[in-house]
Amino acid sequence: MKTAAIYARVSSDKQREENTIASQTAALVEFSGTHGYSVPEELIIQDEGFSGASLIRPGLERLRDLAAEGQIQAVLVHSPDRLSRKYAYQVLLMEELARHGVETIFLKAPQTETPEDQLLVQFQGMIAEYERAQILERSRRGKRHRARQGEVSVLSGAPYGYHYVRKSDDSAAYYEVIEAEAAVVRMVYESYTVKNMSIGAITRLLNERGVPTRKQTTRWGRSTTWAMLRNPAYKGTACFGKTRAAQRQRIKLTRPLRRRGGIAQRNSVGHERPRAEWIEIAVPPIVSDETFALAQELLVHNKVHAPRRTIAPSIVQGLVSCSKCGYALSRTSTRSTARMIHYYKCLGSDAWRHLGGPVCDNRAVRQDVLDAVVWSEIVKLLENPSLIQEELDRRLVAARDTAPTKRREDVLRRELTRIRKSMDRLMTAFQEDLLSLDELRQRMPTLRQRENASRSELQSVVDQVANRAAYLRLAETLAAFLARLREAADTLDIQDRQRIARLLVKEVLVGDDTIVIRHSIPIPGDPGDGNGPMPPSGSGQGGDGKSYLLRKGSLDTCARQPASLQRRRARASTDC
């Protein structure tokens, strides 16, 4: 009697709940008893909830190992699509088993003894592969259509702070706010946007307070907090189709991992689609649009300017780039006989970073002198409060007239008008006996839900515009604030100077003999636009008229050099 193994597979949780894998196993056990195969209990192998389009399944890996070790002589499978949904994979597995002397027998397919039988099995494999591709495409298009209709049922569950209410006879599926969890979400956003806490600090605070997670048993992680800050559902617009599946670049599945039952997905879904391809679905908001937008701005800002392992911060840290190659400048140091000297060095000048050697010949720049030059330019900018006042006025006008929220407000108002017209038409059809009461009850709740969601989002948009206008009107106290800032400019510590520099400066471009400071506020008639030389006040000189040597040497030796040489070696300019 031949020793055989039974292999059964289902690909969905629904099939598992319906116990279809048990029916496969029972039919195969009965077949083995009537055809003279011995199947021990430990050789009944099942893969529950695994797709037939992948070869990486724990049960299938164990089956292949048993065949390679010579422990079985036959494999019993219910049908070819249970072995794999791809014809090429079916052929690969059957040939591999045949090389080890293992016969593959399908219960719902003819025995492959004649060429006609083999052709029929091949046709079954190709039909199964076509059927899978057809199911996937229909499912994808159906989900996209329902997402464009505003149905939340296409989303993969509700995020933290919401409860997913299933579809009923009276209403479609929708998100319901859980107030206890919503308070945690608001606290996370407030800590990040108002208190300027880091993601790690917020995560530690949640764990210290014992705030339960959605699963009630796990601890908060940094990735969970980070994902919460990026999820647009909290501002009232859940998005469908944010990510896409893509082939992994490197897949390494070793035999020890297979024996331990380890699973390595063949595809990765962590690739984000362009923002324009997302489909927005209205849900109840938890935070305002302004708070969410500020969180996104801080996430981008902190990605560049996060202190990470910085021991001694500097004023222009994270703002300095090379004007020749575009690489950022990293900080390095060297020790002299008297002290430690810090420099900013172009990453393109490091030979070990590039296979063909350095790609830039820009030399290192003294950190202390560069900080002093940039800070002096910032102080001069603060001495002219009219520039900042004009910029705030310009942004207020833009917020009122050309902001995306204004366009969104118009879209929502038109959407509300269409929904009300649809509801009126339904009521008219019901009154004229063109529509039954059951049909009215089935169609009206969906329109009611869309109306409530659109009205809620419209109110949040209106509040956002009002809050932004009130925020920008705070510029009435700008003159007094700048006066206090100028008085304390010389006594501020490095951290405070760094914050001010990051508010007013976009980037600092360092060339061979030029430093370009790009401000966040446009400067009318700025001579640093490339049309003329800089005035002496912005040419890298101090109040005593001497130039600073930014590359090497000391400040005293630089002051004794001819003025023409000094200007060639160090010249700073500003550009908006």
Choose the final residue of a domain: 110, 144, 178: 144
Q: Looking at the domain assignment, is residue 128 inside a domain? A: yes
What is the DSSP annotation of 320-359?
EEETTT-PBEEEEEEE-SS-EEEEEEEGGG-GGGSTTS-S
Q: Looking at the domain assignment, is residue 172 inside a domain? A: yes
CA distances from 540 to 517, 536, 561 (A): 12, 8, 15
Token pair recorded at residue 568: 């060639």
Same domain, 163 and 89: no
What secondary structure letter does DSSP report for 403? -
Structural domain range at position 136: 2-144
Same domain, 124 and 163: no
The Cα–Cα gap between 157 and 216 comes to: 17
Among 41, 44, 33, CA closest to 2: 33
State the 10-residue block means of pLDDT for the chain, 576 residues long.
89 62 88 88 88 83 90 90 81 86 82 63 70 75 81 84 84 86 92 88 90 82 90 89 65 47 51 80 87 88 69 79 85 80 84 79 84 82 70 63 60 83 85 82 82 78 61 52 67 78 82 80 51 37 42 43 35 41
CATH number, position 163 = 3.90.1750.20
Q: Looking at the domain assignment, is residue 435 inside a domain? A: yes
Counting the structural domains of the chain, the total is 4
Provide, rounded to the nearest whole percent, the portion of the chain with pLDDT above 90. Answer: 8
Same domain, 237 and 338: no
What secondary structure letter does DSSP report for 266? S
Choose the final residue of a domain: 476, 505, 534: 476
Q: Looking at the domain assignment, is residue 417 inside a domain? A: yes
Choose the final residue of a domain: 144, 170, 191: 144
Q: Looking at the domain assignment, is residue 426 inside a domain? A: yes
Quote the pLDDT of residue 186: 92
Report residue 373 CA to chain centroid gap: 37
Quote the pLDDT of residue 36: 87
Same domain, 380 and 522: yes
What is the distance in angstroms between the CA of the first residue and the CA of the last residue of the chain?
A: 86
Same domain, 100 and 214: no
Among 376, 380, 365, CA closest to 513: 365
Quote the pLDDT of residue 576: 40
Q: Are strands 267-272 and 243-247 parallel, antiparallel or unpaired?
A: antiparallel
Element (H, E) at 83: helix 80-83
Element (H, E) at 153: none
Same domain, 32 and 92: yes
Same domain, 466 and 491: no
Quote the pLDDT of residue 570: 37
Same domain, 385 and 493: yes
Cα-only R_g, the chain? 34
Q: Looking at the domain assignment, is residue 248 inside a domain? A: no
CATH number, position 89 = 3.40.50.1390
Name the 3-class secondary structure at 209: coil
Name the 3-class secondary structure at 553: coil
Q: What is the pLDDT of residues 168-188, one digit of tens each?
A: 877 788 888 999 999 999 999
Element (H, E) at 365: strand 365-366
